[in-house]
Amino acid sequence: MNVTETVNEGLRRQLDVTIPSTVLSSRLDEKLQDVKGKVQIKGFRPGKVPLSHLKKVYGRSVMSEVMQEAINDTVAKTLEERSEKAAAQPEIDLSDDQAVINRVLDGEEDLSFSVSYEVLPPVSLMDFKSIKIEKPVVAIKDEDVDKELDTFFKNNRGYEDKGDGAVVADGDRVGISFVGKIDGEPFEGGSADHTHLIVGSGQFIPGFEEQLVGIKKGEEKTIKVTFPTDYQNEDLAGKDAEFEIKMLHVDGPKADVELNDEFAKSIGLEDLAALRKAITDQMEAQLDSLSKQRTKRLVLDALDDGHKFDVPEKLVEAEFNAIWNRVKHEVEHHGKTFESEGTTEDKAREDYRKIAERRVRLGLVVAEIGNTNEITVSDEEHQQALVNEVRRFQGQEQQVYDYYRKNPQALASLRAPIFENKVIEYVTELATVTEKPVEREELVRLVREGEEGFDIDSDHDH
């Protein structure tokens, strides 16, 4: 075997490889010997077919297998000897001259080919102790707990039908059907046949619930509203809409129910203090989760800033294509254009390619941190991730479980986010973390900003 390096530029490599025909012929003879006792050829007893006849009958087809195996084995051995790891599957370039291929298949000529690939770059890890993070924390105020407690009470105190002539008042629970339209056309997610709403709870966009007050049971009405400019669905943000609604029923709060110990006992708690504590604990858990999300983003930003190296173009291209396909689908599905979003397709491509480069670089950094510090995902953690995933699909648990059981790659992908989070926790413990008090609204805004496509893709297999 002869290997000659022809390209060594940055991460790109190209090698010219020659495998002698004698090596291929030797492998061919070994394979034919294995075939010899299995084939049945007219005129020969089993296991007694001459090798020369087997070559005549099966030589080329078996040699084709031999060639492929020889190429794979040679490329793997060569990369190992060169202490290189390919970032993606190496590209093999064989001669397109059929006469040459035929001579190789007949064992008359050496097999020559070129192999092109990109190597994974060496990652020199930064000093994690140099990272400084301001972790946002929210101090829960009594008035915040009071508000949540009041909302919980209103949602669970029970309601009773106000009758056929009922008129909607603030605090009532109503059942409505509606069709939402923008510029006269229904929009996705803007319709419902029967949904419940507590008037004044702020569940719907500003201005919607207020216009329900005074409507009678069975009455139809068109409500005009404007979606907030910071609405979570950017397709609707800032747009005027009309909702054609029908009041299906009007239920008023039960008059004999009060927010007290008896109410807490009715839902299985000891007293009102226990209910208040449960709500406080839930709020703390939610805010802690948001704080961790924001901290993770800050750690990833610090890792990105602290590691600058070239990344394999093949990996970036694959990541970019995955992102871009989703972007194009969103644009086409919602009838938007890049210009309507204040950009151009070329500028959007440039921005998303930067995101792809960041994701690939961070993926390599996270993988190196994990490997260097022997961070692993246990079988128990992997199994728990599967259980959590299955629980997300109520009523379809068995189908989801079977899907993962039959798709090893999908099952393995559940390890990636666990691995990533364990690495982030490891880095966070070494970093200097100080707490920064913020309001709940500010924390939500910070987390939302951090979800705009810059984190590592959870599909990466580290």
Q: With a cut of 90, say whether residue 11 has pLDDT above it.
A: yes
pLDDT on residue 427: 97
pLDDT at 334: 67
Q: How confident is the model at residue 151 (pLDDT cuts 50, 70, 90)?
A: confident
pTM, entire model: 0.74
CA distance 200 to 208: 10
Burial 147-158 (b: 16+ CB within 10 A, else e): ebbeebbbeebe
Chain centroid to CA 281: 29
Query: Which of 238-242, 372-376, 392-396, 436-440 is least confident?
Result: 392-396
Residue extents of the structural domains in the chain = 2-118, 158-256, 272-449
- pLDDT of 393 reads 87
Classify domain 2-118 by CATH architecture. 2-Layer Sandwich (3.30)
Closest-CA residue to 92 (of 107, 106, 78, 109): 78
What's domain 272-449's superfamily in CATH? Answer: Trigger factor, C-terminal domain (1.10.3120.10)
List, in sequence order, every residue forming a beta bridge with 185; answer none if it has no partner: 182
pLDDT, mean of residues 18-30 = 89
- Give the pLDDT of residue 39: 63
Tell me the pLDDT tens digit for each residue of 245-301: 999 999 998 878 889 999 999 999 999 999 999 999 999 999 999 999 999 999 999
Q: What is the mean pLDDT of the chain?
A: 88
Provide the pLDDT for residue 90.
95
- For the cut 60, the answer to whether the pLDDT of residue 113 exceeds it is yes
pLDDT of residue 257: 86
Question: So what's the pLDDT on residue 57?
Answer: 63
Residue-wise pLDDT for 44-78, tens only, equals 656 556 666 666 766 678 888 899 999 999 999 99
- 410-428 pLDDT per residue, tens: 998 899 999 999 999 999 9
CA distances from 52 to 20, 145, 196 (A): 21, 88, 82
- Give residue 459's pLDDT: 41
Backbone phi, psi, residue 206, to 5°: -55, 135
Q: What is the mean pLDDT of residues 173-184?
A: 92
Report the amino acid identity of residue 16.
Answer: D
Nearest to 311 by CA among 363, 258, 260: 363
pLDDT digit string, tens, across residues 353-390: 999 999 999 999 999 999 999 999 999 999 999 999 99
Q: Would you identify the CATH topology of the domain 158-256?
A: Chitinase A; domain 3 (3.10.50)
Instruction: Using the predicted structure, report yes or no on whether residue 458 has a pLDDT greater than 60.
Output: no
Q: Write down the pLDDT at residue 461.
A: 40
Range 121-128 average pLDDT: 95
Model pLDDT, residue 107: 84
Distance of CA 460 to the CA centre of its chain: 8
User: pLDDT tens across 192-225, in order?
Assistant: 999 999 998 888 889 999 999 999 999 999 999 9
Q: pLDDT at position 54, please?
A: 65
- What is the chain's Cα-based Rg? 33
Among 125-139, 175-189, 229-243, the range with the most confident prediction by mean pLDDT is 125-139
Please, are residues 160 and 461 in contact by the beta-carbon 8 Å criterion? no
Q: How confident is the model at residue 59, as a pLDDT? A: 66
